[in-house]
Amino acid sequence: MMPPTLVLVESNTTGTGRLFARRARELGAMPVLLAEDPDRYAYAREDDVPVVRTDTGSLDAVLAAVRALPGASPAGLTTSSDYFVPVAAAAARALDLPGPDPRAVRRVRHKGSQRADLVAGGVPVAAHALVSGLEEALSAVDRIGLPVVLKPADGSGSMGVRLCTTRQEAAEHAARLLARTHNERGMPVARDFLVEQYVDGREFSVEVFGQRAVAVVAKHLGAAPHFVEIGHDVPAPVPAAEADALAATAVHAVKALGLGFGAAHVELRLGPDGPVLIEVNARLAGGMIPELIRAASGVDLVLAQVTAALGRPADLEPRSARHSSLRFLVVDAPSELGDAPDTGDLPHVTGTTLTGRRGIRLVPQHDYRDRVGHVTATALTAEDAARAAESALARLRTALRPHPHEEATV
C-alpha cells in the first residue's frame, strides 16, 4: 500500500523548506514538491524528494499537476513559502483538503487589505496609507508625519522596506517601489505600496498556531534605514506582562483576519502605549525560528504544520523551558565566503551553518538575502544563550573576507 502523499507547493530553499519534507516522512507520508524551477532546490535532490515541474503561480496548473500524480488523491497540500500561501490555500480548498480560508489568506497577503481588516477588528496598528503614485505617497508622508516606513504591499523578507526620515528619502524610495515589476521569484508585484508611521520600540514576533500563542520571540535588527533581521531570542527575555500583552494582541489579530488554521507569524513592536501590530503572515516563521522554539520548548512547529495539513491533531505542549538564540552572519560589504571556523569548543553552541554560495562576490542587498550563515545556542538562561550565540558569531565572521576585486581597487 502506498503511503499518503503530502504535496508541497514550492518551498523555502533552505531551513524549514527541507524540514517540511523530512517531517512528512517521519509521519509516514511521501512529500512531493511542485516547482516551476526544480533547480532551486538542492535539498530535494539530496533528500530524494520527488519534484514535479509546473507553473506554481497558476491554480489551474497546480490542480492539474496534483490530479496527475500517481496513486490515490493526496492527503494534504501546503507550502513553506510566503509567496505561495494563497495558491496553496486555494488548491487545498478545491481538493477538499485541510487548509486555511483562501479568501482570508489573499487579504492577509496584501498588506493594504490586511491593515483594513485589522483596523475593522480593533487591532492596534500604526497610522498608514495605501498609495499607488508619487504625489499620493508624499501627501501621505505629510499627513502621517516623519519618520515613515515605506514597504511593498505584497513583499516578504524585508525586501523593499525602508525607513525614511526626510521627504526626499521618501520620494526616492517611492520611485524605486513604483519601478518594481517583479519580485526575486519572478512573480508580478502589486503596483501599490504602504506609507506607514514609524513605531519606535523593540520588535517581536509571536508564533501563533490555530488561535493559540506558542512563543514570543525577540528580534534583533540591522542598521537603519533597513529592517534586516539579524538575530532572534526564544522566548523573548521580557517581563511576563509584556509577553502576555504581545501574545494577546497577536491572537486578536489572527482572529480579526479570519485565520485560525495552522501557523501564523505575527510581527509587532512594543511602543510607548503597548503592542502595535506590524504585520501578520499566514504561514510558519522563517529565519529558523521554528527550530529555536523546538530547542527551547520541545514544540516542533514544522511537525505541527505538516500534521495539520494531513488532517491530524497537532501537538503543541511544551516539554522543556530552556532559552535559544540565533545570530545571522550578514554581508555588509562586498565580500567572499570562505570556510566555516570550528565553534565546537564554545559552551551552549548547538550549530554553525553557512548558507551562502562560496567563491562568488557577495554584495549587500539590504534584505534577507544578506544572511549567508547563522549560529544557534541553547542554555538554561537567556543571558547564557545570547552570549554563546554572540561569541560563535564573532568567530563565524572570519568566514567572510573582502572580495579580491575589492582589495585590488582600494
Residues annotated as catalytic are 283
- What count of other Cβ atoms lies within 10 Å of the Cβ of residue 228? 24
> What one-character DSSP code corresponds to residue 380?
S
User: Partners of 335 in the beta sheet?
Assistant: 362, 402
Task: Judge contact between 223 and 333, C-beta under 8 A.
Answer: no
> What one-character DSSP code corresponds to residue 182?
B
Task: Judge contact between 269 and 201, C-beta under 8 A.
Answer: yes
Q: Residue 179 contacts by C-beta under 8 Å, 6 or more apart in sequence?
A: none
| 287 CB burial (10 A radius; 0-12, 13-18, 19+) | buried
Q: List, in sequence order, the alpha helices (H) in 257-381.
A: 289-297, 301-309
Sign of the alpha-carbon torsion through 39, 357, 152, 181: negative
User: Partners of 217 in the beta sheet?
Assistant: 205
**CA gap 151, 149 in Å, rounded:** 6
Which of 326, 405, 409, 307 lies closest to 362 in space, CA to CA? 405
Backbone angles phi, psi at 312, to 5 degrees: -110, 155
CA 73 to chain centre: 30
- What count of other Cβ atoms lies within 10 Å of the Cβ of residue 17? 23
Q: Which amino acid is at 172?
A: E
**CA gap 58, 62 in Å, rounded:** 6
Q: List, in sequence order, the alpha helices (H) in 121-274.
A: 134-144, 167-179, 240-256
C-alpha cell at 86: 494563497
- What count of other Cβ atoms lies within 10 Å of the Cβ of residue 369? 17
> What one-character DSSP code corresponds to residue 222?
-
